[in-house]
Amino acid sequence: MRKSLLLLGVSLMTVSLASSANAAGHSGQWGLGLMDSSAPVGVFFGVNEDATLHLGLGFHKYDVPSGTVALETEFNFLAALQYDIWTGNQMGFGVMPAIGFASMSPSEGDGATDILIGLYLGGHWDPSDAVSFWFHHGLEIDLYSPPVGDSTTEFGTSGVELGSFGATFWIPGM
């Protein structure tokens, strides 16, 4: 499966490199979609031909059995800027700095917060003017503050093996 996806990715990049340098660009357009599963309700804005701003929100209410102290609600916010370093025929590849914030509330007691700072490599494929598919993979710094005890800082990567995927549906006339 992984070899098939890798072959598909290499084929798409080869075709786009062989084609003329013509970016789809969504400068000044608004879109709705998903770029990260923790903040699935996403708003996109084409800042210019090379940059797209993504703002995402997420909320999750967990089932908590009575009599236990467990995580009950989680609120997530994510802001990311995809900047294309290279563009091709309906494709782009570049860097994406991002920052995320999560507030987690247990059924009893104080809550916890989590701040995520990320730097990703990623890109997009625009099969039409109305749709973009995103992918990214990269480095993350995770600053977690539990309700009790010391805060932790972890360094890691994002995207399980292959990366993270998302999609945008661009709103016509906006």
Residue 38's pLDDT is: 82
Per residue in 78-129, pLDDT (tens digit) is 999 999 999 988 899 999 999 999 998 876 778 889 999 999 999 999 999 8
Domain membership of residue 49 as a residue range: 2-170
CATH code, 29 = 2.40.160
Residue 17's pLDDT is: 39
Per the prediction, the chain carries an average pLDDT of 81
Cα distance between residue 3 and residue 9, in whole Å:
10
Residue 160's pLDDT is: 62
Q: How far is CA 81 from CA 50, 84, 136, in A?
A: 10, 10, 12
The pTM score is 0.76
User: Which residues of the chain register pLDDT less than 50?
Assistant: 1-23
Q: How far is CA 18 from CA 4, 14, 22, 52, 63, in A?
A: 21, 6, 11, 25, 52
> Number of structural domains, the chain?
1
Residue 173's pLDDT is: 75
